[in-house]
Amino acid sequence: MIKKLTAQDLKELLGELRQKFLVIAPFRVKQGRLTKVLYQPVKTNDQLSSIYFKEQPDASPKEYFLPRDDRLAEETAGADCQPEEWSDNPRLFLGVRSCDIAGIELFDDVFIENDFVDPFYQRRRENSLIIGYSCQEPADNSFCQEVGIDPLENENVPLMLYDAGEGFYLKVQDQELLKGFEILDMLQELPEAESSELEEIVTENRKNFSGDEFSLELELPFPEKEAFTSVDWEEATASCLGCGVCTFYCPTCFCFKFFWEEIEKNRAWDSCMFSLFTAHASGHNPRERQDQRWRQRLLHKFSYHPTNYQGSPGCVGCGRCVSKCPVNLDIRKVLNRVEKTLAGEGVKGNES
């Protein structure tokens, strides 16, 4: 089912959806001298006309599922204690691109689809509806197609939004889930569109994604032993400052630490780029050099994670780590260095 909307139709639809959901959408936000595109809650209908789709958001919506600082429970309250900020109102995320959808799916694999379920993440995830957004052109430094992600189409969300210039197309992909959120009837009232109209737009936009100079030839997972010992990680990552910006902007990095404030247990983001991340109480640090930490981060994404999750990479190719790095350390160049070294070791590339 495909619907055709004018900009006013979309605004009116979102106004109706706000009666059922906390709508979270990308906006241009002034931060000092910088203007960033960030996901923020829509507090009034007047804000709907300011929703901004033209650029990849500076940060993914991961902090709405795994907050930077998360109050978990009071030690005296027992295992069933629920955070006070949780709400029964469902959340609707608008304009989420394929790379960030893939990041949320990776979190699902880690936090709710194994033997150990994180109830805090699970509650937020099950209470959220995602409307995807089809990219019209590549974001700066992105390489999502090289890790198997289609920037224009994504069947893993119930609704997909396509920008047609003077209006939008909305593809309904999971009617059962929409019934569960009680909004399918609302969507069925919108004007119908022919699938050929949407296919033409997608075909035209796809031409913008044909000139990527970066390619990833090796099959995943990377061979751990060869990559660990053979690559000159120190030379490849010498400029790294260990600031952790790459991990905080990354849609798939999920390392965290626990800390207590009196009897209150909290969880906060951490980073494998930090020197204290692996420090032992004894004073020993098994990754005391920055190149060792960089090796861990890259191999986690391209060796360890694919090994544990059916070949799925731990990187979605959004390019934010490249764009945000203060010393322009480019993960694509490091990957090419790894591939070149492994090729010299006789490791074959992907021939498909």
Q: Is the pLDDT of residue 84 over 70?
A: no
Q: What six digits make up the tokens of 60? A: 């993914």
What pLDDT is stored for residue 352 in this prediction?
Answer: 36
Looking only at Cα atoms, what is the longest distance across the chain? 66
- Contact predicate 164/138, CB 8 Å: no
The model carries a pTM of: 0.92
Q: Is the pLDDT of residue 35 over 90?
A: yes
Q: Is the pLDDT of residue 114 over 90?
A: no
Quote the mean pLDDT of the chain.
Answer: 91
DSSP 50-75: G---SS--SS-GGGGTS-SEEEEEEG
Ordered strands of the 69-74 beta sheet: 69-74, 264-269, 256-261
C-alpha distances in Å from residue 336, one per residue of 84, 142, 330, 339, 343:
47, 15, 10, 5, 10
What pLDDT is stored for residue 345 in this prediction?
Answer: 78
pLDDT band for position 162 (50/70/90)? very high
Identify the residue with better confidence: 70 or 332: 332
What pLDDT is stored for residue 190 in this prediction?
Answer: 92
Q: Is the pLDDT of residue 74 over 80?
A: no
- What confidence tens digit (pLDDT) does each residue in 197-242 have? 999 999 999 999 987 778 988 889 999 999 999 999 999 999 999 9
Query: Cis peptide before 313, with omega less than 30 degrees from 0?
Result: no
- The residue to which tokens 């020197």 are assigned: 275
| Segment among 73-77, 106-110, 123-127, 292-296 with least mean pLDDT | 73-77
Between CA 51 and CA 158 the distance in angstroms is 20
pLDDT band for position 81 (50/70/90)? very low
Q: Is the pLDDT of residue 78 over 50?
A: no
Q: Is the pLDDT of residue 15 over 80?
A: yes
- Residue count of the chain: 352
Determine what percent of the chain is predicted with pLDDT higher than 70: 94
| Pair type for strands 264-269 and 167-172 | unpaired
DSSP 265-333: EEEEE--TTSTTTT--TTS--TT-SHHHHHHHHHHIIIIIHHHHTTT--S-----HHHHH-TT---HHH
Residues in contact with 114: Cβ distance below 8 Å, sequence separation at least 6, in sequence order: none
Inter-residue long-range contacts of 71-80, CB under 8 Å, 24+ positions, other chains counted: 71/264, 71/265, 71/266, 72/120, 72/258, 72/265, 72/266, 72/267, 73/264, 73/265, 74/263, 74/264, 74/265, 75/260, 75/263, 75/264, 75/265, 76/263
- What confidence tens digit (pLDDT) does each residue in 133-145 have? 999 999 999 999 9
φ, ψ (nearest 5 deg) of residue 114: -125, -170
pLDDT band for position 83 (50/70/90)? very low
- When pLDDT is averaged across residues 295-309 and rounded to a whole number, the result is 96
What pLDDT is stored for residue 183 in this prediction?
Answer: 92
SS (H, E, C) 248-262: HHCCCCCCEEEEEEC
Neighbouring CB atoms inside 10 A of 221's CB total: 21
What pLDDT is stored for residue 87 in this prediction?
Answer: 54
Q: Which region holds residue 97: left if phi is over 0, alpha if psi is between -120 and 50, else beta?
A: beta
- Contact predicate 39/25, CB 8 Å: yes
Q: What six digits make up the tokens of 335? A: 């990957």
- Contact predicate 194/2, CB 8 Å: yes
What pLDDT is stored for residue 344 in this prediction?
Answer: 86
Neighbouring CB atoms inside 10 A of 281's CB total: 5
| Segment among 73-82, 88-97, 189-198, 229-238 with least mean pLDDT | 73-82
pLDDT band for position 77 (50/70/90)? very low
In the chain, how many H helices and how many E strands? 13, 10
What pLDDT is stored for residue 76 in this prediction?
Answer: 44
Between CA 194 and CA 62 the distance in angstroms is 34
Between the CA atoms of 275, 278, 283 and 287, what dihedral angle is there, to the nearest 10 degrees?
Answer: -70
Which of 253, 221, 219, 223 has the alpha carbon at shortest distance from 106? 253
Determine what percent of the chain is predicted with pLDDT higher than 90: 81
Between CA 260 and CA 104 the distance in angstroms is 27
